Homo-oligomer: A and B are copies of this chain.
């Protein structure tokens, strides 16, 4: 019970990054192999402690994005995911972590960053299935992050964050299919996407590809909120909980 000279307890603050991208038509997640205790040799999300007392939390996230993932000046989607701070989640003491969700277009190669040595892309399905043991409560964080991305694809333009500056409608469809794990009808997809004013806008003189008919190029439009939403079909979903 707080008394006269009670002082509030102080906690250590970390940021953790759920970085998603598309590679080989699959949703993948960036993981670091830990070199130090605790959880040495286990995989973990990129992240780390607040650098100094005056550093902003999102600023720390961007710093770690550069240091640990080699994604420095790159423009990518970054949003706060939530706080994970249950006592006992970190053996080093009371550590509270702010998780961020980052989404990036296909990256060059195995991430050629500074400290990004032990970083590698893992299929999200395998991670969610528990085939890749993660440190701390990072499995829960990943699960929340992926679910956030899946949900936001429905009623926001988040899908374009997985694409390069310009992209084709087929590429956009691949994003939806990979993130949701479903197959969509291209004809209905074309219709739906193009009817949503401001979702994507024509870009460039319209051409590209290697074999087959060239596709028209688009870029992300100004609209962030999709109305009506894209509907996640052919998935169990419906039932409660």
Contacts and interface: CB of A to CB of B under 8 A. Distances in A.
Contacts of A57: 83, 85-86, 96
Given A55-B87, A86-B56, A50 B222 contact: no
A133 interface: no
Given A12-B10, A85-B57, A240 B224 contact: yes
Query: Taking chain A's interface residues, is the majority helix, strand, or loop, or is none over half, making it mixed?
Result: loop
A82 B100 CA distance: 11
A94 B53 contact: yes
Contacts of A54: 87, 94
A91 to B, nearest CB: 14
Contact of A80 (B2, B14, B83, B222): B83
Tally of this chain's copies: 2
B228 A240 contact: no
Interface size class of A (residues with CB under 8 A): 35 or more
A101 to B, nearest CB: 12
Interface in A188-210: 198
A49 interface: yes
B237 A56 contact: no
Contacts of A9: 12-13, 49-50, 52-53
Given A12-B8, A13-B96, A240 B56 contact: no
16 contacts: A8-B12, A8-B13, A9-B12, A10-B12, A11-B11, A11-B13, A11-B50, A54-B87, A54-B94, A56-B87, A57-B86, A82-B83, A83-B83, A83-B98, A223-B239, A227-B237
Given A53-B87, A80-B82, 18 more contacts: A8-B14, A9-B52, A10-B10, A13-B96, A53-B94, A57-B85, A82-B83, A83-B98, A155-B155, A198-B240, A222-B240, A222-B241, A223-B239, A223-B240, A225-B240, A227-B237, A227-B238, A228-B231
